[in-house]
Amino acid sequence: MKLATLVLLLASYAACAPTGCTSTVFSFVYHGFAQLEEGIVGTLPVAYIFSPGSATNSPPPTTFTAGSWVTGGVYTRRDSVAVHENIRNANEEDVSLVIRTRIMLNATNGTVAGTLTMDNVSVAISKAYRKLNN
């Protein structure tokens, strides 16, 4: 039984990249709170969508089961995503990143309760450019 699904668009990042092959590493740190009764599972999937190439990177979702989350506690999730774009002309220099995440709670029966929040996300961006050989 699905209790709830919350879809969040956390951020959108845009930049102007030089012509050539652009490599960028994004590092993400999420913090939130989880409290889950026995019989409920929380899932936190994240998708990172990059353009102009529309590359999508989806690391494995974080899963929360009752066990250590019965009394509640703060969680931390860390992701690191490398993106390589081949910018061939000036029309492709505008690149963007969209972070899409969901908070899902699934229960084995209708008498359990749970809380799963995403309180903040920090993003660090490091870039390395390599020009194409003509």
Tell me how far apart the alpha carbons of residues 26 and 125 are, in angstroms, rounded to a whole number: 5
- Residues 15-45: b if buried by 16+ CB within 10 A, e if exposed: eebeeebbebebebebebebbbeebbbbbbe
Number of domains observed in the structure of the chain: 1
Tell me how far apart the alpha carbons of residues 20 and 132 are, in angstroms, rounded to a whole number: 5
Domain range holding 50?
2-130
pTM exceeds 0.85: no
Q: Which CATH number fits the domain that encloses residue 23?
A: 2.60.120
Per-residue pLDDT tens digits for 7-42: 555 555 666 666 666 677 888 899 999 999 998 999
Per-residue pLDDT tens digits for 66-121: 888 999 999 999 999 887 777 676 666 666 778 888 888 888 887 888 899 988 88
